Chain A
Amino acid sequence: MFDRFLSEREKLIAEYRLTEEERRALLEIDFRSLYEMGVHSLLLGPLAATLGLSFPDYLAILRGNQP
């Protein structure tokens, strides 16, 4: 699932019943929106690390301060 999220996100997302805003947040990997929608932080933190985002930058995004 995680590998598919990284390699063919659009196709994966299409398989789920999601709102327009949920789809957008997932496609753009909008960490702050995803967190506010209720995605668990221990899914988001490791995802940020996998994408090469530093932990302080990731936290800044969650807090609404774009790094």
Chain B
Amino acid sequence: MSLVGAFAASHAPGITGRPSLPRVSESEPIFRAYEDLRSRLEAARPDVLVVISPEHWANFFLDNMPSFCIGIGDEFSGPTDEKFVNIPRRSVRGNARLARALVEGIAEDVDLSTSQEMAFDHGVMLPLHLLRAELPVIPIIVNCLAGIPAPLHRCHALGVALRRTMDRWPERVVLLGTGGLSHWPAMPESGQIGVDFDRRFLDAFLNGRIESFLHYPKEKLEAEAGPGGHEIRTWITVAAAAAGARGSLLAYQPVQAWSTGCAVAVLEIGEAAR
């Protein structure tokens, strides 16, 4: 027990907001990969889904921007940016009891802030929508956006602490990191994609070598993967929780019309860990 799935997927708003804008040959692999991920989610039979998502101004602003914030609530709602992603706003079940237990465990190693009233933007809602996931969600929001985001190696420490805590639980947990890979979001450079960076990152992510990215220089990351490249933080947390597990790439597609190097991947936790 009890991590039964470790997934990561891009959440480019265009996937649902502008589904027909790219060529079908570009968009189809991503939709298919999300369908595949949905089957894997069902097969894993989780009791709860822990979603690691970047912040996009849904909850925090420049007056208060935590590195990590976990939602301790039994009900959330989203998306806050419904017109941007073309997903109707709805409520999402949480699990305050498990979320509190998660904070207490993680806090032994990594400081987290907590929120009892959290709203979800496309970072959480787009994957939930495509996965048609109705199970309770524990959100962990990571600042990849503004101010001084936590160093990449701290996102790794968060993943290690997550795993250590979950392993004490009887509940079955699937971890889903969302965001990335390279993108220049909603800015004049939108459409530029760092394919070389994305492939190198995926290679490390899928082959138990995420450590090679934990001290990637900020300027290099931004030059090669855009401001959106900071969202690899959520993937790093998932890789850390999967503790070196190898993975499968369900799709990688640079989609210019969605302004994103889109990827969907799973890490094989293995039966032994279940």
Q: Which residues of chain A have C-beta atoms less than 8 A from B208's C-beta?
A: none
Instruction: Give a binary string over A25-43; 1 marks a CB under 8 Å from any B CB, 0 the rest.
Output: 0000000000100001111
Distance between Cα atoms of A41 and B185 in the complex (Å): 7
Contacts of B57 in A (CB 8 A): 40, 42-43
Within 8 A of A (CB), among B13-34: 13-14, 17-18, 21
Most chain B CB atoms below 10 A, which of A43, A45, A48: A45
Q: Is the CB of B188 within 8 A of A49?
A: no
Binding site of B, secondary structure by majority: helix, strand, loop or mixed?
A: loop
Shortest Cβ distance from residue B30 to the other chain A in the assembled complex, whole angstroms: 17
Q: Which residue of A lies closest to B54 (CB)?
A: A42
**What residues of chain B lie closer than 8 Å to A46, measured between beta carbons?**
81, 83-84, 186
Shortest C-beta distance, B64 to chain A (Å), equals 14
The one of B21, B83, B188 that contacts A62, using a Cβ cutoff of 8 Å: B188
Contacts of B191 on A, CB cut-off 8 Å?
A: 59
Contact A50 B83 (CB under 8 A): yes
Within 8 Å of chain A (Cβ to Cβ): is B114?
no
Tell whether A40 pairs with B146 under 8 Å between CB atoms, given A49-B81, A50-B84: yes
Interface 1/0 per residue, A42-66 and B, CB below 8 Å: 1111101110100110110011000
Closest beta carbon of chain B to A63's beta carbon, Å: 5
- Closest residue of chain A to B61 (Cβ to Cβ) is A1
Q: Which residues of B contact A52 (CB under 8 A)?
A: 83
Contacts of B146 in A (CB 8 A): 40
Cα(A47)–Cα(B35), bound, Å:
30
B77-121 CB contact bits vs A (8 Å, 1 = yes)? 000010110000000000000000000000000000000000000
CB–CB B83/A45 < 8 A = no
Specify the chain B residue showing the minimal Cβ separation from A44: B186
B43 interface hit (Cβ, 8 Å): no
Closest CB in chain A relative to B193 CB, distance in Å: 15
Instruction: Indicate if B157 sits at the interface (CB-CB under 8 A).
Output: no
Flag if A42 contacts B185 (CB, 8 Å).
yes
**A43-B58 Cα distance, complex, nearest whole Å:** 10
Cβ-based interface call for B56 (8 A): yes
B187 and A49 contacting across the interface, CB-CB below 8 Å: no
Partner-A contacts on B (CB < 8 A): 13-14, 17-18, 21, 56-57, 81, 83-84, 145-146, 185-188, 190-191, 227
Across the A-B interface, the 8 shortest Cβ-Cβ residue pairs: A45-B186, A46-B84, A41-B187, A41-B186, A46-B81, A49-B84, A49-B83, A50-B83
Query: Mind listing 28 A-B residue pairs with CB under 8 Å?
Result: A35-B187, A40-B57, A40-B146, A41-B185, A41-B187, A41-B227, A42-B56, A42-B57, A42-B185, A44-B186, A45-B13, A45-B185, A45-B186, A46-B84, A46-B186, A48-B186, A50-B83, A50-B84, A52-B83, A55-B14, A55-B17, A55-B18, A55-B21, A55-B186, A59-B186, A59-B188, A59-B191, A62-B187
